[in-house]
Amino acid sequence: MISADTADATLFSNRARVYARCAFALKADPNVAGAESLFDAALSNGLAVVVGSSWRGEEFYPQKPNRPSKPRVRSAGDMLTLLATKATDKETTSAEPKLASP
């Protein structure tokens, strides 16, 4: 389990909060200006939490060895494809949660 005071736990917690804020705003008013952006942010951050908590680091695009930079989070479509591949390959995660609840 990732301790609540680590950088990973903070990152996951922040992503979960972004997901929650965006989902709440869309539920309150689905026709709000920028609804598409709110949906994209909610979906991307929610998927990053799911993928990252099950397969740490796989929520990011692979780094180029000769060009180190800040890790980039995969697009929602790429993460859905990754999840479909993991399900097809029957790749499982441990039953024990890896993140502490925020």
In this predicted model, what pLDDT tens digit does every residue of 47-74 receive, in sequence order?
998 898 888 889 988 887 787 778 888 9
Percent of the chain with pLDDT over 70: 84
Mean pLDDT of 19-31: 93
The confidence score (pLDDT) of residue 24 equals 93
Split at pLDDT 50, 70, 90, the class of 95 is very low
Split at pLDDT 50, 70, 90, the class of 36 is very high
Helix/strand number for the chain, H first, E second: 3, 0
Q: Long-range contacts of range 52-61, CB-CB < 8 Å, 24 or more positions apart?
A: 52/8, 52/11, 52/12, 52/15, 53/12, 53/97, 53/98, 53/99, 54/86, 54/93, 54/98, 55/86, 55/91, 55/93, 56/8, 56/98, 58/82
